[in-house]
Structure 1
Amino acid sequence: MTSISRENPLTSKDAQALLAMLPAGVEIERGMSERELDQVEERWGFRFAPEHRTLLGAGLPTGSRSWPDWRDGRMPIGRNGSKFRCRRNAPAHHPRGGLPFPV
């Protein structure tokens, strides 16, 4: 897989390969629909980065505290007990390159 950039966006095939590399204990549920993703964004007042939408559309990681279950309707809680903070209008790509979330 090549680096992800605006010119080389994450594909569904690449997203499925990333999901397959997640550690044991992380379950992969059916991917989220565009409607489900839109509802999460509207409910919590943020926008997923395009590559995050692609990843969640390919499969929804669950069963680990590292991955919020976006379908359950509750605000995700971080490892330190704080609610996730999502910046509005954040850049789509992480400043160090690659994906802006752990894989």
Structure 2
Amino acid sequence: MRSSPSVTEVARNFAEYVNRVAFRGEHFVLMRGGRAVAELRPVSIGMRLGDLPGLLASLPRLSSDDAAAFGDDLDTARGQLGVLPEHDLINVEWPAA
């Protein structure tokens, strides 16, 4: 939701506006003398999808031997997980209390 309260209104009720931004994700354009002078909005959390290629490019590269060893480690770890049960909690019959 986007609203345009005055700077004075926001100053008088600052905690309320911060809570609305933090918990409801609201966005406010603060007005002074009929002109937009500032924004109060949630901060971005995490990274943008467009930053992903740069992030992946910055990761260290494994040698062929290290990549093969890592694959072997994954296979070993998967084998140690065991077999998952054949039922799920949705169909479990609970004992009568």
TM-score range, shorter chain: under 0.3
Structure number with higher helix proportion:
2
Structure number with higher strand proportion:
2
Q: What is the TM-score normalised by the length of structure 1?
A: 0.21
Bigger radius of gyration, 1 or 2? 2
